[in-house]
Amino acid sequence: MSATVSPLAPKKYPKMPAVEGVRIATAEAGIKYKNRTDLLAMVFDEGTTAAGVFTRSKCPSAPVDFCRHNLAGGKARMLVVNSGNANAFTGKKGRETTRMTGEAAAKAAGCPAGEVFLASTGVIGEPLDAGRFSHLLANMAKEAKPERWSDAAKAIMTTDTFPKVATATVKIGETEVTLNGIAKGAGMIAPDMATMLSFVATDAPIDAPVLQALLSKGVGPTFNAVTVDSDTSTSDTLMLFATGAAEKRGAPRIADVADPRLAQFKRALNRLLKQLALQVVRDGEGARKQVEVTVTGAKSARSAKRIALSIANSPLVKTAVAGEDANWGRVVMAVGKAGEPADRDRLAIWFGDNRLAFEGERDPNYSETKTSAYMKRDEIAIRVDIGLGRGKATVWTCDLTKEYVAINGDYRS
């Protein structure tokens, strides 16, 4: 955890209510750091359904494999997360650790090992000794309390400078349900789920296949539209748990993703995912500015997203933003290298409301003074119109500062 909190951190945090059917405990296991909570357990009531989206990395961590395997059952009773070690690229030892942790958690929650989910975040390639923390789980399951959401967000931090939380209350039918979410992530963040862990829980009664459909769709314009440094982590895990406790209060059980009673919930979930994803960007390692990149007029939405990511991931664009330099030539470069249909003579580029380029050359009304003043803001919007079609996409990133190099230059030491 960095000593200085990101200047883009939220000025205030929402009060996180309890979600009926979820209890939370944290502990200091000393996995990498002393005197820091680095272990989280969430205990779910029987009948809780689960959905998940994971990294598309070809070198996934052992916990990601473990979760994918258990997700087929669609049921959850306990989630165990550790920070300080990713248990990734740890071979047989890593699989052994997940097996031991899974068994200890199942015993603690009094459930089959198939209803346990695990996530680990931190250094890659270092063996994780399950013996360091598995003995703590039984007591954590006993001591877990419903209201400890902000403690949960703190326990999963690595190079994060602030905990990431979001909450929403909506109706399913006539009954109010709650959604709470936490996330971690600051570096090794790229659309493919980033080095990112995020866990969302609700008391809504929603069947696992419906939950999975909502999550798989919701991730596209949110977590898969953020990038800090274009590096896809081995550990990305986003999970959604539904305890169904609101059913006792009259909420209808949802078994079909097309059920119109889901509309409000779906909107709230997508909003919550976006809030969490943007907090991750705003805590990008060394970040001083949030950058929103919108591409319009592309051949297709997919093409627009690829161009937007080419701009958002360009170290030259990101360092120009860090230096508050309106160097739109770098945006032209990033559009050109994306490998997507583009026409130089139709290109238009804006920084905020300032149009810098139009029809393939510098805008005759471009004002360096106005644009330079705009670049001093801590939220920068870059818009590019390709002029070829109707495809559009928005992605979010942050600037690239010396601090990013400092943090990542000595990450293991």
Annotated catalytic residue within 195, 234, 296, 371? 195
Distances (CA, A) of 374 to 14, 129, 276, 382: 30, 50, 26, 11
User: 12: which 2 tokens?
Assistant: 């205030």
Residue 217 dihedral angles phi and psi, to the nearest 5°: -75, -40
Give the 3-state DSSP-derived string for 198-219, with helices as H, strands as E and coil as C.
Answer: EEEEECCCECHHHHHHHHHHHC
Residue 336: burial class (beta carbons within 10 Å; 0-12, 13-18, 19+): middle
User: Are the C-beta atoms of 128 and 94 separated by less than 8 Å?
Assistant: yes
User: 37: which 2 tokens?
Assistant: 């909570």
Which residue reads 């598995």 in tokens? 134
> Hey, is 59 helix, strand or coil?
coil
**Angle between helices 62-71 and 91-109 in degrees, nearest 10:** 50
Please give the Cα distance from 180 to 206 (Å, whole number): 15
Please give the Cα distance from 174 to 318 (Å, whole number): 47
User: 56: which 2 tokens?
Assistant: 């598309």
> Count of CB atoms within 10 A of residue 363's CB?
16
Q: Is there a catalytic annotation at residue 169?
A: no
User: Are the C-beta atoms of 313 and 293 separated by less than 8 Å?
Assistant: no
User: 244: which 2 tokens?
Assistant: 């169904």
Nearest to 338 by CA among 379, 304, 369: 304
Please give the Cα distance from 72 to 51 (Å, whole number): 9
Residue 77 dihedral angles phi and psi, to the nearest 5°: -125, -25
Nearest to 204 by CA among 268, 145, 148: 268
Q: Name the residues annotated as catalytic.
A: 195
